[in-house]
Amino acid sequence: MTSKDAALSVPDWPTSFGTWFPTLAMLDGGAFFEHSHRVIAAILCLLIVIQTILVWTKDERRWFRFFCFVTIGGVLVQAVLGGETVRQLLQYWLPVMHACFAEIVFAALICIAFFTSNWWISDRPQLDDHGSPSIRALALLNAACIFFQVILGAGFRHKEIPVWPHIAGAFVVLGTVTWLAVALKRQYGNSRELSKVRALLHAIFGIQFLLGLGAYWSRLQTVDAPQPMPMMVTLTVIHTVVGALLFGLSVAIVVMCYRLVSRGREAVSTSARQVAVR
Distance in angstroms (rounded) separating the CA atoms of residues 235 and 246? 16
CATH code of the domain occupying 127-278: 1.20.120
What element of type H or E holds 249?
helix 230-260
- Per-residue pLDDT in tens (0 to 9) along the chain, 278 residues: 777 787 888 888 888 888 988 988 888 888 998 999 999 999 999 999 999 999 999 999 999 999 999 999 999 999 999 999 888 888 878 999 999 999 999 999 999 999 999 999 888 888 888 878 899 999 999 999 999 999 999 999 888 999 999 999 999 999 999 999 999 999 998 888 999 999 999 999 999 999 999 999 998 888 888 777 888 889 999 999 999 999 999 999 999 999 999 875 454 444 434 433 44
3-state secondary structure of 162: coil
Q: Give the start-to-end residue ranges of the domains of the chain.
A: 1-122, 127-278
CA gap 248, 16 in Å, rounded: 31
Contact residues for 119 (Cβ-Cβ < 8 A; gap 6+): none
Helix axes 94-115, 135-157, angle to 10 degrees: 150
The C-alpha atoms of residue 208 and residue 169 are separated, in whole angstroms, by 13
What's the longest Cα–Cα distance across the chain? Answer: 79
